[in-house]
């Protein structure tokens, strides 16, 4: 289609569940090809490759990067491996789409951003939620003054962690736990919604699941943003029947968005103001992963920017790290946000409805 960037040839870093269930279907829908797979377990990778029609399998990451059959790398390995693999890919001249969180420390996140910048490499982080048509519509309403001055945001991102994912996410290791898994997603939504930076957080985390967890599996946090906007985040792996929502309250109205904290293009947006309650039409119901890939391809082609850049993801990670430190110490902890310079709107595809 005219205006779309050319499809890319991909290598996968990590034979992960999210790659198989989310990213590979999206790559196929968008016309991309997956040429190679890296995993430290060759036997597992070979079975994975057969299931998914991937021709080349490597148990040496450098060998994958040396392949001239790939243009870009999708990194969905364990969180504490993201930094090393992304920097290696940048040095090899491969563009990088990395799972969140981009790193397990802010210093690591800065190193990843610098490596990709210095190498002229497109870097995007797969915080998919800001790409959703629902979230883009909510941002338009808030930034257009539909609720007046924003005062508060409530996010409930509580679910039951599927049995197949109750591995490293519950372990005692860097990057594990619900805060790194879900709270950073929340921040990736709230940051562009408010158009400001987070300043400090106060949080409590617990282990409440019917399993042995080495890290927190539920969290509640209050984050203060610039202009004294208060943001409440409830994230958990332990709630089987809890619908997700996003609420934005202002001095002239409120937005109630139910079922929008998911990758699927679903959910409703209700605007409440002095005229009453009314549902807001959301025309763009494309899958969030598809939109993310389209924007990434445009960034590689030099015709757009990622939905979530390295700098955007740094600020989301900074919120998560502040929450974890607050829960650990019982104190209000500053958020080490960075000022992201204004940039053009993300590429959203020729059929996108803004």
What tens digit of pLDDT does each residue of 268-281 get? 999 999 999 999 99
Q: What is the pLDDT of residues 125-135, one digit of tens each?
A: 999 999 999 99
Residues 178 and 187: their CA atoms lie apart, in Å, by 13
Residue 111 scores a pLDDT above 70 = yes
Taking residues 137-160, report their average pLDDT.
Answer: 98
Determine, yes or no, domain membership for 342.
no
Q: How far is CA 299 from the centre of its chain?
A: 17
Determine, yes or no, domain membership for 349.
no
Residue 115 scores a pLDDT above 50 = yes
Residue 343 scores a pLDDT above 80 = no
Maximum separation of any 2 CA atoms in the chain, in Å? 62
247 class by beta-carbon count within 10 Å (0-12 exposed, 13-18 middle, 19+ buried): middle
- State phi, psi for 68 to the nearest 5 degrees: -90, 10
Domain count for the chain, please give it.
Answer: 2
Any idea what the CATH number is for the domain that residue 43 is in? 3.40.50.720
Residues 140 and 14: their CA atoms lie apart, in Å, by 36
Sequence-separated (6 or more) residues with CB below 8 Å from residue 260: 129, 132, 134, 135, 138, 244, 245, 246, 266, 267, 268, 269
Determine, yes or no, domain membership for 33.
yes
Determine, yes or no, domain membership for 341.
no
| Share above pLDDT 90 across residues of the chain, in percent, rounded to a whole number | 94
Q: Verify that 165 and 226 share a domain, yes or no.
A: yes
Supply the pTM of this predicted model: 0.95
How does residue 1 score in pLDDT terms, banded at 50, 70 and 90?
very low
Q: Verify that 269 and 136 share a domain, yes or no.
A: yes
Q: What is the DSSP secondary structure assignment for residue 183, as one 8-state letter?
A: I
174 class by beta-carbon count within 10 Å (0-12 exposed, 13-18 middle, 19+ buried): middle
Q: How far is CA 15 from the centre of its chain?
A: 19
How open is the CA angle 309-315-316, to the nearest 5 degrees? 90
- Whether 71 and 10 have beta carbons less than 8 Å apart is answered as yes
Q: Verify that 91 and 165 share a domain, yes or no.
A: no
Residue 138, classed as helix, strand or coil, is helix
Structural domain for 17, as ranges:
9-128+289-309
Q: Verify that 223 and 303 share a domain, yes or no.
A: no
Q: Verify that 148 and 93 share a domain, yes or no.
A: no
Any idea what the CATH number is for the domain that residue 182 is in? 3.30.360.10
Q: Verify that 136 and 189 share a domain, yes or no.
A: yes
Q: Verify that 324 and 185 share a domain, yes or no.
A: yes
Determine, yes or no, domain membership for 339.
no
Q: Verify that 170 and 118 share a domain, yes or no.
A: no
- Whether 234 and 155 have beta carbons less than 8 Å apart is answered as yes
Q: What is the pLDDT of residues 69-110, one digit of tens each?
A: 999 999 999 999 999 999 999 999 999 999 999 999 999 999
Q: Verify that 252 and 266 share a domain, yes or no.
A: yes
- State phi, psi for 154 to the nearest 5 degrees: -120, 130
- Whether 350 and 2 have beta carbons less than 8 Å apart is answered as yes
Residue 354 scores a pLDDT above 70 = no
Q: Verify that 16 and 106 share a domain, yes or no.
A: yes
Look at the block and give the residue holding tokens 């879900």. 182
Q: Verify that 105 and 124 share a domain, yes or no.
A: yes
Structure-block tokens of residue 193: 């919604």
Determine, yes or no, domain membership for 140.
yes
Bridge partners, 158 (sequence order): 236
Q: How far is CA 244 from the centre of its chain?
A: 16
* Average pLDDT taken over every residue of the chain: 95
Q: Would you state the pLDDT for residue 340?
A: 80
Determine, yes or no, domain membership for 3.
no
Determine, yes or no, domain membership for 347.
no
Structure-block tokens of residue 341: 């310079």
């Amino acid at each position: 289609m005219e205006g779309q960037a050319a499809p890319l040839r991909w290598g996968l870093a990590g034979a992960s569940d999210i790659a198989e269930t989310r990213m590979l279907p999206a790559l196929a829908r968008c016309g991309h090809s997956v040429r190679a797979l890296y995993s430290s377990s060759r036997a597992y990778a070979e079975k994975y490759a057969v299931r998914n029609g991937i021709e080349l399998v490597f148990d040496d990451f450098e060998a994958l990067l040396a392949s001239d059959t790939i243009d870009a790398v999708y990194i969905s390995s364990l969180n504490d491996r993201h930094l090393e693999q992304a920097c290696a890919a940048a040095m090899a001249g491969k563009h990088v789409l990395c799972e969140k969180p981009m790193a397990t420390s802010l210093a690591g996140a800065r190193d990843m951003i610098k490596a990709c910048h210095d190498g002229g490499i497109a870097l995007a982080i797969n915080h998919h939620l800001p790409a959703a048509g629902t979230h883009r519509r909510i941002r338009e309403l808030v930034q257009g003054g539909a609720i007046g001055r924003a005062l508060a945001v409530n996010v409930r991102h509580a679910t039951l962690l599927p049995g197949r994912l109750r591995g490293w996410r519950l372990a005692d290791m860097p990057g594990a736990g619900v805060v790194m898994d879900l709270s950073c997603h929340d921040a990736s939504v709230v940051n562009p919604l408010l158009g400001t930076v987070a300043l400090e957080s106060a949080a409590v985390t617990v282990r409440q699941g019917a399993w042995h967890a080495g890290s927190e599996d539920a969290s509640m946090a209050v984050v203060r943003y610039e202009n004294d906007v208060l943001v409440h985040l409830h994230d958990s792996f332990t709630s089987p029947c809890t619908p997700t929502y996003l609420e934005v309250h202002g001095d002239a109205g409120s937005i109630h968005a139910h079922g929008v904290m998911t990758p699927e293009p679903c959910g409703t947006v209700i605007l409440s103001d002095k005229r009453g309650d009314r549902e807001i039409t959301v025309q763009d119901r494309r899958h969030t992963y598809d939109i993310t890939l389209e924007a990434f391809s445009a960034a590689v082609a030099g015709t757009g920017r990622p939905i979530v850049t390295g700098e955007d993801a740094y600020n989301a990670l900074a919120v998560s790290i502040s929450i974890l430190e607050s829960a650990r110490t019982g104190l209000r902890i500053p958020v080490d946000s960075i000022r992201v310079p204004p940039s053009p709107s993300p590429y959203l595809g020729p059929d996108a409805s803004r």
